[in-house]
Amino acid sequence: MSRKPTDTAHVNLRIRESLRKKLADEAEDRHWSLNNEIRWRLEASFERQDLLSLDDSATRLENLAAKFEVQFHDLENQGDLLRAAEALVKAIEQNDPDAIRDGTIRIKQIVTAIEVAAKAVPRRLHTGGKL
């Protein structure tokens, strides 16, 4: 016959007297039975384990978010660089010296921004995405 989750099961447990004494003292301080103290402590250990699992999952999600942030930032920089290069090509085709100068400056600025971002990536990943 299967037991229901709400059924009470009897368990024989062998523990050292020193541990039994600690549990009994705590139970007395809380004004409840030794059985209740043992049950409460076992349940609490599973709750702590669940909380640790949640913390671990949250940390993993934060790390993944930081990695995606870096990748999306890189894609944005690549898009900026592509648009600046297209503008420069158009300026060259139109033989517009001012536009060529401006386009060259813009490309240099974007390349510098990409280099700065690339240097910050290891630090950003190590700190969970925060600089």
Q: What is the mean pLDDT of residues 7-11?
A: 86
Is 44 contained in some domain? yes
Separation CA 113–CA 131 (nearest Å): 15
Is 1 contained in some domain? no
Is 117 contained in some domain? yes
Domain that holds residue 65: 17-126
Is 79 contained in some domain? yes
107 torsion bin: left (phi>0), alpha (psi -120 to 50), beta (else)? alpha
pLDDT digits (tens, 9 = 90+) for 60-100: 888 887 777 767 777 787 788 888 888 888 888 898 888 88
Is 131 contained in some domain? no
Percent of the chain predicted with pLDDT > 90: 22
How many folded domains does the chain comprise? 1
Is 67 contained in some domain? yes
Amino acid identity for residue 32 in this structure:
W
* CA 5 to centroid of chain Cα atoms: 34
More confident position, 32 or 74: 32
Is 8 contained in some domain? no
Question: Is 80 exceeded by the pLDDT of residue 125?
Answer: no
pLDDT given at position 114? 78
Is 5 contained in some domain? no
